[in-house]
Amino acid sequence: MADVGFVGLGVMGGGVAKRLLDAGHTLTVWNRTREKADWLLDAGARWADSPREVAEASEFVFTMVTNAAAVKAVCDGPDGILAGLAPGKLYIDMSTASPANTRALAERVAELDAQMLDAPVSGSVITLERGKLSVLVGGEADAFERAKPILEAIGPKVFHLGPNGAAVTMKIATNLSLAVQMLAFSEGVLLAEKSGIPRETAVEVMLASVIASPMVVYRGPFVLEQPDEAWFDVNMMQKDMNLALELGRELDVPLPTTAATNEFLTAARGMGLEDQDFAVLFEVLARMSGVATEVGS
């Protein structure tokens, strides 16, 4: 068992932190909004007053925040993680940011005689609850081996993909398909619905068909009813799509379906739906199709 720290307790971050606590690790946490930590504190976690205090109390320090700006906010300054990161400690960032930013941060961590892994997860809230997340890891091999037993408490499949930046690259390459699949699924449902097939029936049939990927199975029902709290909202999804498009330009890889789907995410924001789960792409297409829905209303 290890002394583990966790910064960033959103829907996914809080769930990941709970798995670490359930595995028997000593857990110290910080979040910008303390109320989101209350349920973990009730379960036995310790509260720290700053990200720096989390790093000072922990051998393994995790972050899972929304973007590169949020990573910078919790890492930098006198109360940041880097200020409390002593030699020999291991910093594990589970956020999805640009590979270039990840590599630059890893260099700063190395200057402190500590090590860093980028370790985003592949999966959703449901995957997390069922203990089926995949953990993608970039960084030095010895740091990966040291962290692997702890990462296996988060998900049973842990992949070492190469140096720092490799894992976030793989995460971006994976995530672009989520929105593309959701838009294609929405097209099919609306085509069936406007031809006279009830939406519920269309969804049921499509979820029993060959197109029913794991993502479609757990997010397809959102075209009938959005979750009370977004699993992965429009802004977060578009951040990942933009990272993918940026990488595509750098590597001369055309991403036509990513680019087209990204425009529908922009339309969702224009309709005031940015706080909804990105499955609200269905709502955008439905409005364009003249189909009435209650999503986002």
| Element (DSSP H or E) covering residue 121 | strand 121-122
Q: Are 280 and 270 in contact (CB under 8 A)?
A: no
pLDDT of amino acid 97: 87
Domains along the chain with CATH numbers: 3-162 (3.40.50.720), 170-289 (1.10.1040.10)
CA dist 291 → 125, 143, 221, 227 (Å): 29, 52, 17, 20
pLDDT for residue 275 is more than 50: yes
| CA atoms of 173 and 188, how far apart (whole Å) | 24
**206-210 mean pLDDT:** 95
pLDDT digits (tens, 9 = 90+) for 93-145: 999 888 999 999 999 999 999 999 999 998 877 778 888 889 999 999 999 99
Helix (H, G, I), strand (E, B), or coil: what is residue 259? helix
| CA atoms of 219 and 243, how far apart (whole Å) | 22
The verdict on whether 171 is a catalytic residue reads yes
pLDDT for residue 297 is more than 50: no
Nearest to 273, CA basis, from 242, 241, 243, 295: 295
Query: Percent of the chain scored above 70 by pLDDT?
Result: 99
First-to-last C-alpha distance (Å) of the chain: 47
* Both tokens assigned to 185: 């699924």
Nearest to 28, CA basis, from 52, 8, 47: 47
pLDDT of amino acid 294: 62
| Element (DSSP H or E) covering residue 109 | helix 99-110
pLDDT for residue 296 is more than 70: no
pLDDT digits (tens, 9 = 90+) for 23-75: 999 999 999 999 999 999 999 999 999 999 999 999 999 999 988 899 999 99
For 58-106, the three-class secondary structure string (H helix, E strand, C coil) is: CCEEEECCCCHHHHHHHHCCCCCHHHHCCCCCEEEECCCCCHHHHHHHH
pLDDT of amino acid 295: 52
Average pLDDT, the chain: 94
Question: How sure is the predictor about 81, in pLDDT bands with cuts at 50, 70 and 90?
Answer: very high
State the catalytic residue, choosing from 18, 89, 171, 239. Answer: 171
